[in-house]
C-alpha cells in the first residue's frame, strides 16, 4: 500500500494537424511502446492496470477504448476509460494506486481530430432541449466568455493576445509542438476574426496525437526510476452547465479544484511556491482567466499578470513553456500532455524549454465548454 | 427545427449526423489494398504465440508483441458458426436497412487463426451447418473499393 | 484484493425502469435515482463529496453528458468524473467509486449509471461498437453474436432451445416480484419458443429489451458507513477483465468471464461457488449467455448449463439463485444495467428485496458484460470477515 504516488515514465507523439498514416491503435501503441521502453517495464510483469482517455464522439466508435485494449494491456486485464480530458485519467490512476488495489498503472490517451468534424461534435455537447438549437460550438461559447471576462474586469484584447504570443513563441523550443511562430500582439489581433473577440491565432488548431504516462506507488517508483515525479496534490470540480447559470467571467470550479490540490500539497502561495505551470488554454483569454482561478493573482488581474511578464520564461512563474494547447494538442489528450511537460520540467529533461531549478509544478486540464470541469495536479521532485 | 407537442408531453426531435474519415493505418491499409487490387487476403503472425491474425494489426493483444511477418491466407475455409438474420437492421455505413433474410457467419480461412465474420450467400437454415467449407466471392475489380464488402459473401463449396 | 480501507454500499436507488418515460428528461431521470439513493441512506446531497457517472454517449447523442447532468446528478461544485465502458459501464462506475473511497481521499461517493434508450437509436449505437474498418457493415448487433453463441452451444453440447427458454421463464417469473423491473410478463416455455425469430436460434424473448432507467449507489468508508446505516453492504473484491478488440464472429481463446471468475474465487478462497455464494446477479443479454456462463462461473461442468436450469438450481428457491431481480432479460437501460446487478445483490444482502428476497443472503456475486466481451465482477458481503 502506497501513501505516495509518482510518475515514473512519460511519452508523447509529435502533435500534427493530421496523421493519416496511423489509425488509433498505431497511434496509441507509439506512446505505449515508448514509455515501456523508457521505464524497462512490461505489461505482463509490471503493469497492474491501465486507464485510458478517449471519446466515443471523436472516434466515431461506441466504446472507443476497444482498439486500445490490444496495445495498452487490456487483454484479460483491467482497463478503464475516463471519458474526459486526460488529466482526469492521471488523477484517477493516482486514486487507483492510493486505494491499494493496484500499484503500477499505465495511462494512455489518444485523439485524431482530423478524422471528425469538430463543430458538429461540440454542438452535441449542448443539451438537445435548450441550448443546442441555437447552434453553439465551443468557440462561440468561449467568445461569450471572453467578452464577458474583458467587460467585467477591463481585460484588454491586447492582454489576451499576449498569451498567444508567449505560447506560440515558447513552442519554438518544444520538439513535440505542432506549431510555433514568433508573432506580435498586433499580428495576433490582425489574424482573421473567428467569433468576436476571438481571433484565429488565439484558438487551438486541429490536432492529432497521443500521450502516455506510467504511475507507481512509492516503493516501486524508486525501483523504476531515480527521477520520480511525485503527485503531491490533486483536485477537480464541476461548474454549472447552462451558460446562463454561470458568470462566464469567473471560474469558481477551477478555484475550488485548485484549492483542493493546494491543500493536499501544502501550497499557500502558488506564485512563490510553484516553479512552473502547464495549463490547458484552448483560447488565449482562458490562460488569463485560469491564472486567476489558480490563484496566481487576484480576480480580474489576469491581464496585469501577463503584462508584467510574470508568466514568461524567465518570469517568476513561467506558464506553458511547452507552448500549451495553443501550440496544438487534441482535445482529451491535452491535459495529460500538460502532466508530461510538467514532469519533464521536474526531471530536468525539458531541453531548451527547461525552467531552471523547477521542483514544484502545476498541471491543469479541463473538460466541457468554457472550462466547466477542471482538474489540477500538483507535481513535485520531492 | 419543428417541435411536436403530444397531448401531454413536449418533445424535441433531432438527428445527429456525424461525418468521419477513418485512417486505415499501415496494417489495415495493406490488407485493403491487396484485397482491392488483387483479391488477396493478407494476415500477420504474432512472433510469440504464432497466431495468424485477421485483421492484421500492430500488436498481438494477448502477447503485447509487435506485429510479425505477413502471411497470405486462402480465400476459403471452414464455417465455424452461422445464423440467418430475419430482423431488419440498418447498415451503419449507409444508413439503409439491410434486406432480410441474410446469412451471417464466422469463417476460419485456411492459414488463419482468427475467424472472419461475414455474410453468407445461403439463407436456408437447413442447408447450413458448422464445418461446411466456404469460399469468398469477390466483387469484380472495378467495383472493389478497399473495404470488407469487396468480398460479397461466402458461398458453400459443394462437395 | 488489497485495499487501504473497507468500503460499503450505504444507499441504493433506482427508477422504475420502463419502455417509455415521456414525463422526464434525462437529467430528471437521473435525479429520480439519485434522490432515491439519498433517501435510502438518509443523507443530503451536501454530504456527498464526489459524483461519478456513466452513460453511453453515442446512444442518446449527448457529447460530454456529465456536464449537462450536473444539476440532476448533484455534481455541481463537487469533485467527480465520467467513466464509460459499454455494457459494463454501471459496474465500472461502482468500481471507480470503490477506488475513490478506498483511497482515503473521499469518504462518501455517489455512483450513477443511466440510459434513456428511447431518446436514441440503440441499434445504431450498438452497430458503432464494431470497427468502422472491419465488419461494421455486417454487424448484426448483439442479436448476431448471441445467435452464434446459441448455435455453437447447441452444436457442441446438444443444448436445446427449450433449455434456453427456461432461462427466460425464470427471469420473467422473478421480474413479476420486482417492482423496478421493466418487463413483467407471465411466460411459458412455449411462449418463448413461439416468439418472433430474429436470427436463428435467437427469438425475441431470448434477448434483453432496451429500457429507460437510472441507478445510483452511495459508497462510504467503513467508519462513515457504520454511522450512516446499520445495514452496510461490503464490497469485498472486484475484478475487471477486458479482452483484445477483434473477434471475428466468436471469441477465440479463454473467456474474460472465466479468467475473472478464477481470479476472484482464488483471491477470496472460494472453492465451490455454487455452495459458497448465496446468489448471483448475472448480466445476461441473452438466454443462451446465462446457460453458458453458469459454466464459466464454475457452477457446473462444461456443457451442463442446461441441466442446471432444468434442475431448478438457479430458481429463486434453488440452491444458487441466479437473477432473482429478473435480470437483464427483464430490464436493460444499458448505462445502468451493470449497476443494477450490484444494487439488486446489495438489496438481497440487506434483506430488503421484498417478494424476490432469497432466503439465505450473506454473500453475493454481481457480474457485468459488455464491449468486446469484457467482464467486471463484484463480490459483496453482508459482514466483514
pLDDT digits over C40-77, tens only?
A: 999 999 999 999 999 999 999 999 999 999 999 999 99
List CB contacts (< 8 A) between C82 and chain A.
82-84
Are B97 and B87 a contacting pair, CB within 8 Å? no
* Per-residue b or e along C113-147, where b marks 16 or more CB atoms closer than 10 Å to that residue's CB: bbbbbebbbbbbbbbbbbbbbbbbbbbbbbbbbbb
Cis peptide before A197 (omega within 30 of 0): yes
**Cell numbers standing for residue C382:** 453482508
Residue A17 distance to chain B (closest CA, Å):
14
Which ranges of chain C would DSSP assign to H, the alpha helix? 26-41, 57-60, 65-68, 70-73, 89-102, 122-127, 141-157, 161-175, 189-194, 222-228, 256-267, 273-276, 287-296, 305-310, 327-330, 334-350
Strand C374-381 versus strand C363-370 pairing type: antiparallel
**C380: which strand partners?**
C235, C364
Chain position carrying cell 518570469: A315
Which of C64, C86, C96 is the closest to A368 by Cβ? C64
CATH of C7-122+210-228, one of 3.40.50.10490, 3.40.50.2020, 3.40.47.10, 1.10.3210.10: 3.40.47.10
Helices (H) and strands (E) counted in chain A, each on its own, are 15, 11
List CB contacts (< 8 A) between B16 and chain C.
61
Tell whether the model's pLDDT for residue B5 goes beyond 60. Answer: no
Distance set, CA A269 to CA A231, A295, A361, B32 (Å) = 18, 8, 13, 58
- The reply to whether residue B92 touches residue C138, judged by beta carbons under 8 angstroms, is no
Tell whether the model's pLDDT for residue B92 goes beyond 90. Answer: no
Predicted local confidence at residue B14, as pLDDT: 87
Averaged pLDDT for residues C338-349: 98
CATH of A5-116+206-224, one of 3.40.47.10, 3.30.300.20, 3.20.20.70, 3.40.190.10: 3.40.47.10
Which ranges of chain A would DSSP assign to H, the alpha helix? 24-39, 43-46, 56-59, 66-71, 87-98, 118-123, 138-153, 157-170, 185-190, 218-224, 252-265, 270-273, 284-293, 302-307, 334-347
Sign of CA dihedral C134, C138, C141, C147: negative
- The reply to whether residue B28 touches residue C249, judged by beta carbons under 8 angstroms, is no
pLDDT digits over A104-116, tens only?
A: 999 999 999 999 9
Interface list for B 30-89 with C (CB within 8 A): 32, 53-55, 57, 61-62, 80-87, 89
Residues in chain A: 382
Candidates A29, A44, A111: best to mutate against B (most CBs of B within 10 A) is A29
Averaged pLDDT for residues C14-39: 97
Could you tell me the residue ranges of all domains in chain C? 7-122+210-228
Which of A62, A98, A373 is the closest to C86 by Cβ? A62
pLDDT digits over B6-35, tens only?
A: 567 888 888 888 889 999 999 999 999 999
Tell whether the model's pLDDT for residue C248 goes beyond 80. Answer: no
pLDDT mean across residues, chain C: 95
Helix (H/G/I), strand (E/B), else coil: B146: coil
Is some CB atom of chain B closer than 8 A to the CB atom of C244?
A: yes
Nearest partner of A353 among A327, A379, A333, A380, judged by Cα: A327
Predicted local confidence at residue C124, as pLDDT: 80
Helix (H/G/I), strand (E/B), else coil: C300: coil
Predicted local confidence at residue A225, as pLDDT: 98
Write down the pTM of the prediction.
0.96
Distance set, CA C194 to CA A336, B100, C206 (Å) = 54, 20, 11
pLDDT digits over A204-245, tens only?
A: 999 999 999 999 999 999 999 999 999 999 999 999 999 999
Is some CB atom of chain B closer than 8 A to the CB atom of C200?
A: yes
Residues in chain B: 159
Predicted local confidence at residue C286, as pLDDT: 97
Q: Is B18 a member of any domain?
A: no
CA dist., res. C54 & res. C236, Å (int)? 22
Chain position carrying cell 433474410: B101
Q: Is B101 a member of any domain?
A: yes
Averaged pLDDT for residues B104-115: 94
Residues of A in CB contact (< 8 Å) with B are: 19-23, 25-26, 29, 33, 42-44, 57, 60, 69-71, 73-76, 112, 114-117, 120-121, 124, 128-129, 132-133
Q: Is B96 a member of any domain?
A: yes
**Cell numbers standing for residue A311:** 508568466
Predicted local confidence at residue B96, as pLDDT: 84
Q: Is B17 a member of any domain?
A: no
Chain position carrying cell 460530454: C64
Predicted local confidence at residue A361, as pLDDT: 98
- The reply to whether residue C239 touches residue A78, judged by beta carbons under 8 angstroms, is yes
Could you tell me the residue ranges of all domains in chain A? 5-116+206-224
CA dist., res. A298 & res. A288, Å (int)? 11
Are C32 and C38 a contacting pair, CB within 8 Å? no
**Cell numbers standing for residue C10:** 450505504
CA dist., res. B67 & res. B52, Å (int)? 10
What angle is formed at CA C183 by the lines to CA C177 and CA C185, rounded to 5 degrees? Answer: 70
Task: Name the neighbours of A, counting chains with at least 3 Cβ pairs within 8 A.
Answer: B, C
Nearest CA in chain B to A130: B12
Lowest mean pLDDT across A336-340, C122-126, C139-143, C249-253: C249-253
Residue A124 distance to chain C (closest CA, Å):
5
Cis peptide before A282 (omega within 30 of 0): no
Nearest partner of A41 among A2, A5, A72, judged by Cα: A72
Interface list for B 63-122 with A (CB within 8 A): 64, 66
Sign of CA dihedral A331, A337, A338, A339: positive
pLDDT band at B158 (very low <50, low <70, confident <90, very high): confident
List CB contacts (< 8 A) between A116 and chain B.
18-21
Tell whether the model's pLDDT for residue C362 goes beyond 90. Answer: yes
Predicted local confidence at residue A105, as pLDDT: 98
Nearest CA in chain C to A234: C105
Strand B76-85 versus strand B102-109 pairing type: antiparallel
Q: What is this model's ipTM? A: 0.97
pLDDT band at C249 (very low <50, low <70, confident <90, very high): low
Predicted local confidence at residue A286, as pLDDT: 98
Residues in chain C: 385
List CB contacts (< 8 A) between C31 and chain A.
none
Averaged pLDDT for residues A75-90: 97
Predicted local confidence at residue B64, as pLDDT: 92
How many CB pairs below 8 Å do chains A and C form together?
191
Q: Is B11 a member of any domain?
A: no
Lowest mean pLDDT across A292-296, B88-92, C195-199: B88-92
DSSP state of B99: P
Percent of chain A exceeding pLDDT 70 equals: 100
Predicted local confidence at residue B6, as pLDDT: 55
CA dist., res. C371 & res. C98, Å (int)? 22
Predicted local confidence at residue B97, as pLDDT: 86
Tell whether the model's pLDDT for residue A306 goes beyond 60. Answer: yes
pLDDT digits over A141-177, tens only?
A: 999 999 999 999 999 999 999 999 999 999 999 999 9
- What's the helix, strand, coil split of chain B in %, to 5? 15, 35, 50
Averaged pLDDT for residues C280-292: 97
* Per-residue b or e along C73-99, where b marks 16 or more CB atoms closer than 10 Å to that residue's CB: bbbbebbbbbbbbbbbbbbbbbbbbbb
- The reply to whether residue C138 touches residue B117, judged by beta carbons under 8 angstroms, is yes
Predicted local confidence at residue C185, as pLDDT: 97
- Whole-angstrom distance between the N-terminal and C-terminal Cα of chain A? 19
Helix (H/G/I), strand (E/B), else coil: C76: strand
CA dist., res. C112 & res. C52, Å (int)? 6
Which ranges of C231-323 would DSSP assign to H, the alpha helix? 256-267, 273-276, 287-296, 305-310
Residue A50 distance to chain C (closest CA, Å):
11
- The reply to whether residue C125 touches residue A237, judged by beta carbons under 8 angstroms, is no
Residue A21 distance to chain C (closest CA, Å):
15
Backbone angles phi, psi at C313, to 5 degrees: -60, -30
Q: What's the domain range around B66?
A: 25-156
Q: Which residues contact B104 (CB under 8 A, 6 or more apart)?
A: B82, B83, B84, B85, B117, B118, B119, B120, C138, C140, C144, C147, C199, C249
Amino acid at each position: 500500500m502506497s501513501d505516495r504516488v509518482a510518475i515514473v515514465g512519460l511519452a508523447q507523439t509529435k502533435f500534427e494537424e493530421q496523421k493519416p498514416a496511423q489509425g488509433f491503435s498505431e497511434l496509441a501503441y507509439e506512446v505505449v511502446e515508448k514509455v515501456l521502453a523508457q521505464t524497462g517495464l512490461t505489461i505482463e510483469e509490471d503493469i497492474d492496470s491501465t486507464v485510458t482517455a478517449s471519446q466515443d464522439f471523436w472516434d466515431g466508435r461506441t466504446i472507443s477504448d476497444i482498439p486500445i485494449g490490444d496495445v495498452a494491456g487490456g487483454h484479460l486485464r483491467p482497463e478503464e476509460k475516463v471519458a474526459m480530458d486526460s488529466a482526469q485519467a492521471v488523477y484517477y490512476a493516482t486514486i487507483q494506486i492510493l486505494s491499494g488495489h493496484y500499484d503500477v498503472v499505465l495511462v494512455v490517451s489518444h485523439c485524431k481530430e482530423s478524422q471528425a468534424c469538430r463543430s458538429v461534435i461540440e454542438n452535441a455537447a449542448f443539451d438537445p432541449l435548450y441550448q443546442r438549437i441555437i447552434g453553439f460550438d465551443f468557440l462561440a461559447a468561449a467568445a461569450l466568455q471572453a467578452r464577458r471576462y474583458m467587460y467585467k474586469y477591463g481585460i484588454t484584447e491586447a492582454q489576451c493576445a499576449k498569451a498567444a504570443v508567449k505560447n506560440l513563441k515558447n513552442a519554438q523550443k518544444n520538439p513535440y509542438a505542432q506549431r510555433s511562430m514568433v508573432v506580435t500582439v498586433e499580428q495576433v489581433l490582425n489574424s482573421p476574426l473567428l467569433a468576436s473577440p476571438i481571433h484565429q491565432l488565439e484558438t487551438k488548431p486541429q490536432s492529432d496525437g497521443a500521450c502516455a504516462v506510467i504511475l507507481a506507488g512509492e516503493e516501486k517508483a524508486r525501483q523504476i526510476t531515480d527521477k520520480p515525479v511525485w503527485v503531491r496534490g490533486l483536485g477537480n470540480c464541476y461548474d454549472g452547465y447552462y451558460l446562463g447559470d454561470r458568470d462566464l467571467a469567473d471560474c469558481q470550479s477551477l478555484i475550488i479544484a485548485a484549492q483542493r490540490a493546494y491543500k493536499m500539497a501544502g501550497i499557500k502561495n502558488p506564485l512563490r511556491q510553484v516553479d512552473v505551470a502547464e495549463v490547458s488554454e484552448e483560447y488565449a483569454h482562458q490562460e488569463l482567466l485560469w491564472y486567476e482561478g489558480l490563484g496566481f493573482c487576484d480576480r480580474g488581474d489576469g491581464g496585469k499578470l501577463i503584462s508584467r511578464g510574470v508568466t514568461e520564461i524567465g518570469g517568476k512563474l513561467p506558464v506553458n513553456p511547452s507552448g500549451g494547447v495553443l501550440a496544438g494538442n487534441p482535445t482529451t489528450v491535452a491535459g495529460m500532455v500538460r502532466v508530461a511537460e510538467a514532469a519533464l520540467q521536474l526531471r530536468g529533461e525539458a531541453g531548451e524549454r527547461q525552467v531552471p531549478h523547477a521542483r514544484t509544478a502545476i498541471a491543469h486540464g479541463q473538460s466541457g465548454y468554457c472550462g466547466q470541469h477542471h482538474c489540477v495536479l500538483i507535481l513535485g521532485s520531492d | 427545427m419543428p417541435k411536436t407537442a403530444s397531448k401531454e408531453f413536449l418533445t424535441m426531435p433531432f438527428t445527429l449526423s456525424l461525418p468521419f474519415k477513418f485512417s486505415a493505418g499501415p496494417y489495415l491499409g495493406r490488407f485493403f489494398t491487396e484485397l482491392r487490387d488483387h483479391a488477396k487476403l493478407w494476415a500477420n503472425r504474432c512472433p510469440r504465440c504464432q497466431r495468424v491474425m485477421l485483421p492484421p494489426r500492430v500488436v498481438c493483444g494477448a502477447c503485447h508483441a509487435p506485429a510479425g511477418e505477413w502471411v497470405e491466407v486462402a480465400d476459403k475455409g471452414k464455417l465455424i458458426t452461422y445464423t440467418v438474420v430475419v430482423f431488419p437492421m440498418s447498415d451503419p455505413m449507409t444508413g439503409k436497412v439491410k434486406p432480410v433474410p441474410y446469412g451471417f457467419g464466422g469463417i476460419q480461412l485456411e492459414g488463419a487463426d482468427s475467424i472472419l465474420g461475414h455474410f453468407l450467400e445461403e439463407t436456408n437454415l437447413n442447408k447450413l451447418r458448422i464445418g461446411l467449407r466456404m469460399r469468398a466471392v469477390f466483387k469484380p475489380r472495378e467495383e472493389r473499393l478497399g473495404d470488407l464488402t469487396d468480398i460479397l459473401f461466402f458461398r458453400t463449396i459443394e462437395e | 484484493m488489497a485495499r487501504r480501507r473497507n468500503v460499503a454500499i450505504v444507499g441504493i436507488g433506482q427508477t422504475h425502469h420502463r419502455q417509455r418515460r415521456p414525463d422526464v428528461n434525462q437529467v430528471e431521470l437521473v435525479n429520480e435515482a439519485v434522490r432515491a439513493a439519498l433517501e435510502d441512506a438518509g443523507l443530503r446531497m451536501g454530504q456527498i463529496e464526489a459524483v461519478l457517472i456513466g452513460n453511453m454517449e453515442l446512444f442518446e447523442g449527448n457529447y460530454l453528458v456529465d456536464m449537462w447532468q450536473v444539476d440532476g446528478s448533484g455534481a455541481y461544485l463537487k469533485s467527480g468524473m465520467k467513466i464509460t465502458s459499454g455494457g459494463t459501464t454501471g459496474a465500472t462506475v461502482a468500481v471507480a467509486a470503490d477506488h475513490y473511497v478506498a483511497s482515503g481521499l473521499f469518504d462518501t461517493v455517489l455512483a450513477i449509471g443511466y440510459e434513456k434508450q428511447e431518446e436514441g437509436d440503440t441499434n445504431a449505437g450498438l452497430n458503432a461498437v464494431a470497427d468502422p474498418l472491419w465488419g461494421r457493415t455486417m454487424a448484426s448487433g448483439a442479436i448476431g453474436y448471441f445467435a452464434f453463441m446459441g448455435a455453437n452451444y447447441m452444436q457442441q453440447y446438444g443444448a436445446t432451445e427449450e433449455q434456453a427458454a427456461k432461462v427466460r421463464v425464470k427471469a420473467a417469473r422473478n421480474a413479476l416480484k420486482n417492482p423496478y423491473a421493466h418487463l413483467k410478463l407471465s411466460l411459458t416455455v412455449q411462449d418463448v419458443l413461439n416468439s418472433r425469430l430474429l436470427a436463428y436460434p435467437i427469438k425475441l424473448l431470448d434477448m434483453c429489451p432496451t429500457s429507460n432507467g437510472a441507478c445510483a449507489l452511495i459508497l462510504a468508508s467503513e467508519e462513515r458507513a457504520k454511522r450512516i446505516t446499520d445495514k452496510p453492504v461490503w464490497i469485498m473484491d472486484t475484478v475487471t477483465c477486458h479482452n483484445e478488440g477483434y473477434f471475428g464472429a466468436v471469441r477465440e481463446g479463454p473467456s474474460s468471464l472465466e479468467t475473472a471468475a478464477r481470479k476472484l474465487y482464488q483471491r477470496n478462497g472460494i472453492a465451490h461457488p455454487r455452495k459458497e455464494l448465496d446468489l448471483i446477479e448475472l448480466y445476461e443479454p441473452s438466454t443462451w449467455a446465462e446457460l453458458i456462463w453458469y459454466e464459466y462461473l464454475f457452477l457446473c461442468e462444461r456443457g451442463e448449463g442446461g441441466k442446471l436450469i432444468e434442475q431448478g438450481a438457479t430458481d429463486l428457491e434453488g440452491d444458487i439463485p441466479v437473477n432473482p431481480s429478473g435480470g437483464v432479460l427483464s430490464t436493460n437501460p444499458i448505462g445502468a444495467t451493470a449497476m443494477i446487478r450490484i444494487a439488486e445483490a446489495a438489496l438481497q444482502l440487506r434483506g430488503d428485496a421484498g417478494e424476490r428476497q432469497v432466503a439465505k443472503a450473506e454473500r453475493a456475486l454481481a457480474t457485468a458484460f459488455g464491449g468486446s466481451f469484457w467482464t467486471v465482477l463484484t463480490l459483496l458481503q453482508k459482514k466483514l470477515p
